[in-house]
Structure 1
Amino acid sequence: MPVASPVYAIIIPAYNEAEELPVTLAAVRLAMAAQDLPGECIVVDNHSSDDTAAMAKAGGADRVVFEPVNQIARARNAGAAATAAEYLVFVDADTRIEAALLTKALHLLGDGRCVGGGAVVRFEGKTTAVGRLALGLWKRISLVTRTAAGSFLFCRREAFQAVGGFDLRLYAAEEVLLSRQLRKWGRGRGQRFTIITDPPVFTSARKLRWYSDLQIIGWILFMVLMPFAIRSPRLCGFWYKRPDQKKKQGR
């Protein structure tokens, strides 16, 4: 029997994510198995130096795409370009989704009145006071402004293409701009941008382990005071460098 063309695609950008991918892909495959619609899972190897590509294949990715430039916007766009699916679901390599969350996202897209959206974010396991404060603040901003976190963002393919995808000039906050562009595009067509509150999406709190509270607060203040920094890969080092990989970029 012929295999049905995928209606949706889950796109996972990954740079040196061999450690996180098995858990993420296991959650993705379980979520996909609960859907009535055919879908595919695409991992974008963003020029990794570890076993990211091998782990992606072993973990159940339908396809592994290679993107040579270390930039998350490019990686996400490469995944979108590799599929003809009508619905695009972007999930970070350190983020776990539940079947119910994927079901809600696909239902919203399928009813014709939703251009895209995201979900309320929670950290896995224990977190710090600063982590809880930052996450609570982001939740309020996300719900009030209807802005999706990059860890989980879904949209209609036609809208994604119409607004030009993720902006390649940005090295951080590219999901904020895309959310704004999708809201505007959808508003003109009577389609809303929705943030799902239940169930949430669970993402790793690893940056809270990598950096001190003072470093995290300092970075947030720096971004607020110098918003142009999101156009500089060097100034976005908080997102692109790991403490144990000083000479490598990672997320």
Structure 2
Amino acid sequence: MDTNEPPGLSVIIPAWNEAEFLPGTLEALDNALSQADVRAEIIVVDNASTDDTAAVAEAGGAKVVTEPERKIARVRNAGAEVASGRWLLFLDADTQVTSEHLMAVQAARSGSLAGAGVPVTLDAPLSRFYTVGMRVWNALSRRFRLAAGCFVLARADLHDAIGGFDERLYAGDEICHSRALRRAARRQGLEFRILTVPPVVSSARKVHWYAPWQHALVLLTFLLFPWAGRFRRLSWFWYRRPH
């Protein structure tokens, strides 16, 4: 293989103050890439972090890009703008993939897919409230072909064709991205779907940070006001952390 040839896959990880979680994410990703024999570039987009996120990312072998605007859609797009891969995989900084996920990605790249998501689970025992919530999300995700933001696979040319993630949004941009990518795929005889693989594991930290009533309030807000993602104040759940 020509090592000067651009990799087929670019993994893009938005990161705001993720020095604690990023080492585990990068280590899991590196192991998965090696086991699946997938060549990829890893891009960490440092989003105005005040901790050692950038240094941790560099130590983990990632290319670091800086994006000062605190808006997740903009951060994801900033990573895509410098990516050289024909395929883009957007991961959250607290999400750990396995070789099984990457082998499924590899198979998808050689098939008729334009993009994909995967089921999601969390890395801690959950109460019934959250267990049911995760099951409902995974069922809706598969039924309506909506990728969770912690794992979004997209063909780079189609990602560009739809204008990337909608930068008018502070939250929910991955849902709009899935819908737009699905429409673009259909026009080319391709598809967007949720891959049949074990769930990817993401951090349960928000379960520990916020009470069930706060999670329910966020869900209700976005169900009653679908445009809430255009306002940072209404999207507080994704932009605040306890001290």
TM-score range, shorter-chain basis?
A: over 0.9
How much does 1:135 deviate? 0.8
Q: Is the 8 A contact 1:122 1:203 kept in 2?
A: yes
Partner of 1:52: 53
Residue-pair matches, total? 242
Q: Is the 8 A contact 2:38 2:102 kept in 1?
A: no
Amino acid at match of 1:224: L
How much does 1:98 deviate? 0.5
Partner of 2:183: 184
Partner of 2:72: 72
Q: Is the 8 A contact 1:128 1:208 kept in 2?
A: no
Partner of 2:81: 81
Partner of 1:248: none
Amino acid at match of 2:204: A
Output the TM-score relative to the length of structure 2: 0.96
Partner of 1:4: 5
RMSD over aligned CA atoms reads 1.2
Deviations 1:63-120 (A, max 9, x none): 0000010111111101111112100000000100001101101211222x10001000
Amino acid at match of 1:17: E
Measured in 2, the distance between the counterparts of 1:3 and 1:33 equals 18
Is the aligned partner of 1:122 residue 2:138? Answer: no
Is the aligned partner of 1:218 residue 2:217? Answer: yes
Q: Is the 8 A contact 2:36 2:100 kept in 1?
A: no
Is the aligned partner of 1:104 residue 2:87? Answer: no
Is the aligned partner of 1:202 residue 2:194? Answer: no
Measured in 2, the distance between the counterparts of 1:163 and 1:97 equals 26
Gaps of 5+ in 2: none
Amino acid at match of 1:4: E
- Aligned residue for 2:119, secondary structure, equals strand
How much does 1:129 deviate? 2.0
Measured in 2, the distance between the counterparts of 1:84 and 1:198 equals 26
Measured in 2, the distance between the counterparts of 1:49 and 1:77 equals 21
Amino acid at match of 1:72: I
Partner of 1:234: 233
Amino acid at match of 2:109: L
Is the aligned partner of 1:142 residue 2:145? Answer: no
Measured in 1, the distance between the counterparts of 2:210 and 2:196 equals 28
Amino acid at match of 1:32: L
How much does 1:39 deviate? 1.1
Q: Is the 8 A contact 2:104 2:197 kept in 1?
A: no
Measured in 2, the distance between the counterparts of 1:218 and 1:68 equals 29
Partner of 1:249: none
Q: Is the 8 A contact 2:32 2:99 kept in 1?
A: yes
Output the TM-score relative to the length of structure 1: 0.93
Percent identity over the alignment is: 43
Partner of 1:152: 151
Q: Is the 8 A contact 1:87 1:157 kept in 2?
A: yes
How much does 1:37 deviate? 4.2
Measured in 2, the distance between the counterparts of 1:2 and 1:188 equals 34
Runs of 4+ in 1 over 4 A off after TM superposition: none
How much does 1:235 deviate? 1.1
Gaps of 5+ in 1: 245-251
Amino acid at match of 1:44: V
Amino acid at match of 1:5: P
Measured in 2, the distance between the counterparts of 1:46 and 1:136 equals 31
Measured in 2, the distance between the counterparts of 1:229 and 1:10 equals 29
- Aligned residue for 2:196, secondary structure, equals strand
Partner of 1:247: none
How much does 1:194 deviate? 1.8
Q: Is the 8 A contact 1:89 1:152 kept in 2?
A: yes
Measured in 2, the distance between the counterparts of 1:35 and 1:74 equals 30
